[in-house]
Structure 1
Amino acid sequence: MIEKIQNEVYEQERMVFSERVIKEYNNPKNIGKIVQPDAFARLTGWCGDTMEIYLNIDHDIIEDISFMTDGCGATIACVSMLTSMVKGRSVEEAEAITDDDLVTALQGLPEENLHCAHLAIITLEKALQML
């Protein structure tokens, strides 16, 4: 019975989200807090989701990045993917990533979830401004 319900939920998710989005929110990367980050930002989106991004930088390279959020699956997927995209990159490269770049990396997002990608991008931008 439980397996049947899980399969139905998964099939419904697949009708809305890409496989990449589902993978990211079911197995998020870089989740958690960095104890003494070089930079940190917390923002709340218009939908009520709050996102925190923590950064450690060494010689202008993002050595470590992590996040916390109370957001929905799409928000988790967006920030998880974004942290993977910028880890090991220069600050300049990270600053150049756009909402569209993130949505493309996730193989698309429904229109009603595009604000989740924007929240991830602007939270990262705010953290980078603290450097």
Structure 2
Amino acid sequence: MTVSNLDAFLDKLQEEIFDEAKEALGEKGFDRWRNPKHSGRMENPDGWGRVTGECGDTMEIYLKFKDNQVADASYFTDGCASSMVSGSFAAELSLGKTPEELTDITADDVLAAIGRLPEEDLHCTTLAARTIQAALDNYMGSMVKEG
């Protein structure tokens, strides 16, 4: 295989992978997979949670509060594309929310923000919602200790 044939093969392979990912994740999910937002561990968060889902993926969510609202949020996961997209949208959903409003974020909210996921990956939205709750629990626990 010549270099130009190899390049053409790799370009076609990447196009097929992207087409499959776009079909599985939907337009919004695909765009977020290609251009992650709110990704990475946060230094000195006010609250953080770490949950391992039944699939073995682990997700972390970090929250920074200002004036009783989430001013910054981020996530980290060692999981698949669906976990990454779910964590990213969950972090985004947290922004501007009070602790009380965070308790209302569900897997359905995360899925609605994404648009769609493959049926076999819907548990990733549950993992993201559970991780937000763990981060909130951590934050509320630290508030009790300080108070």
Whether 1:68 and 2:68 are equivalent positions in the alignment is no
- Aligned residue in 2 for 1:7: 15
Q: Tell me how far apart the structure 1 counterparts of residues 37 and 103 of structure 2 sit (CA, whole Å).
A: 20
Q: Tell me how far apart the structure 1 counterparts of residues 66 and 89 of structure 2 sit (CA, whole Å).
A: 21
Unaligned runs of 5+ residues in structure 2 are 1-7, 141-147
Moved over 6 A (4+): none
Percent identity, aligned pairs only, is 37
Deviation at 1:15, TM superposition (A): 2.8
Deviation at 1:94, TM superposition (A): 2.0
Q: Tell me how far apart the structure 2 counterparts of residues 17 and 52 of structure 1 sit (CA, whole Å).
A: 21
Whether 1:107 and 2:108 are equivalent positions in the alignment is no
Higher helix residue share: 2
Q: Tell me how far apart the structure 2 counterparts of residues 27 and 91 of structure 1 sit (CA, whole Å).
A: 28
Deviation at 1:75, TM superposition (A): 0.3
Aligned equivalent of 1:35, options 43, 57, 60: 43
Aligned pairs (5 A) from 1:11-30:
11-30=19-38
Aligned equivalent of 2:96, options 88, 92, 107: 88
TM-score (norm 2): 0.83
Q: Tell me how far apart the structure 1 counterparts of residues 135 and 70 of structure 2 sit (CA, whole Å).
A: 12
- Aligned residue in 1 for 2:128: 120
- Aligned residue in 2 for 1:44: 52
DSSP-derived class of the 1:17 partner: helix
DSSP-derived class of the 1:10 partner: helix
Q: Tell me how far apart the structure 2 counterparts of residues 97 and 109 of structure 1 sit (CA, whole Å).
A: 18
Query: What's the Cα RMSD here?
Result: 1.2
Question: CA offsets, 1:27-63, max 9 Å, x none?
Answer: 1111112211111111111111111111111222001
Deviation at 1:117, TM superposition (A): 0.3
Q: Tell me how far apart the structure 1 counterparts of residues 103 and 35 of structure 2 sit (CA, whole Å).
A: 25
Question: CA offsets, 1:100-129, max 9 Å, x none?
Answer: 111111112221111100000001001101
Amino acid at match of 1:93: E
